[in-house]
Amino acid sequence: MGSYKNISIVERRRLHEKKYKKHNLANILTHWFNVGMWALLLPTGIAIISSPRLGLSPVWMQELFRNMFGGAANLIKFHYTIGFLWIFVLLFNVLLGFRKYFVPFAISRMLLDKDDIQWLKTKPLQMLGLMKDKTLPPQDAYNAGQKLYMYVVILGTLGIMVSGPVMALKTLFPPIVKQ
């Protein structure tokens, strides 16, 4: 085990009562808006692109969603509508709060530093059972793995925000974009 420092009851109470503000209300609301949108977009998107040949989802799920919406056309319209709402709200939040919320959050919490690079070199090896005796460098509110995951999420979100409208509005784009 590790060695733990005993702290007094007074110090424990002080630490227990101390509150840390990790996110602004705008960030929290955006997060939960994303959760709701993904809960609607993911299953409807899978039901739209699925076919028995692809095997992305069971046939009963595809039929369930198509029947719930009164056919594939209505399912697609619902998915497009929710998708455009998601894009609009995210862009609105980013454009409105970019300097006030995103930039300070990214600078203070999400940029990789030298401790993060060391963490990325050590932690995967520890997960494989190597370098168990090496101490991980200190991390801030998010560890380096969480920071890298955030970069992947942002890139994926941008990819979906671009590809979704291209698919939905394919008649407006030149043929080279649609291929």
Tens of pLDDT along 138-158?
888 889 999 999 999 999 999
Q: Does 163 score more than 60 pLDDT?
A: yes
Q: Are residues 52 and 117 in the same domain?
A: no
Taken in order 100, 101, 104, 106, is the CA torsion positive or negative?
A: negative
Q: Which domain holds residue 123?
A: 111-179
Contacts of 44 (CB under 8 A, 6+ apart): 65, 75, 78, 79, 82
The number of residues in the chain equals 179
Is 65 found in the same domain as 39?
yes
Indicate whether 115 and 92 sit together in one domain: no
Q: Identify residue 160 by its one-letter amino acid code.
A: I
Q: Are residues 70 and 135 in the same domain?
A: no
- Residue 7 in domain: no
Boundary residue ending a domain (66, 98, 130): 98
Does the residue 117 lie in any domain? yes
pLDDT digits (tens, 9 = 90+) for 50-94: 777 767 788 888 889 889 999 989 999 999 999 999 999 999 888
Instruction: Check residue 162 and give its pLDDT.
Output: 92
Residue that finishes a domain, picked among 98, 129, 163 = 98
Q: Are residues 91 and 115 in the same domain?
A: no
Inter-axis angle of helices 114-127 and 144-168, to 10 degrees? 90
Enumerate helices (H) and strands (E) in the chain, giving the number of each: 8, 0
Q: 35 with 80, same domain?
A: yes
**Are residues 140 and 94 part of one domain?**
no
**Within a domain: 15:** no
- 119 and 176 together in one domain: yes
Within a domain: residue 13? no
Beta strands in the chain (DSSP E): none
In a domain, 154, yes or no: yes
Number of domains in the chain: 2
Do both 30 and 94 map to the same domain?
yes
Alpha carbons 163 and 45: distance in angstroms, whole number: 13
d(CA 122, CA 137): 9
Looking at the structure, tell me whether residues 144 and 179 fall in a common domain.
yes
Looking at residue 74, its pLDDT comes to 93
**86 touches 19 (CB < 8 A):** no
Enter the pTM of the model.
0.73
| Cβ atoms within 10 Å, residue 106 | 14
- Is 162 a member of any domain? yes
- The answer to whether position 56 is within a domain reads yes
DSSP state of 131: -
* Domain presence at residue 161: yes
> Are residue 126 and residue 156 in the same domain, yes or no?
yes
Of 81, 103, 102, 104, nearest to 93 by C-alpha is 102
Cα–Cα distances in Å, from 103 out to 27, 49, 100?
12, 36, 7
Decide if 87 contacts 164 (C-beta within 8 A). yes
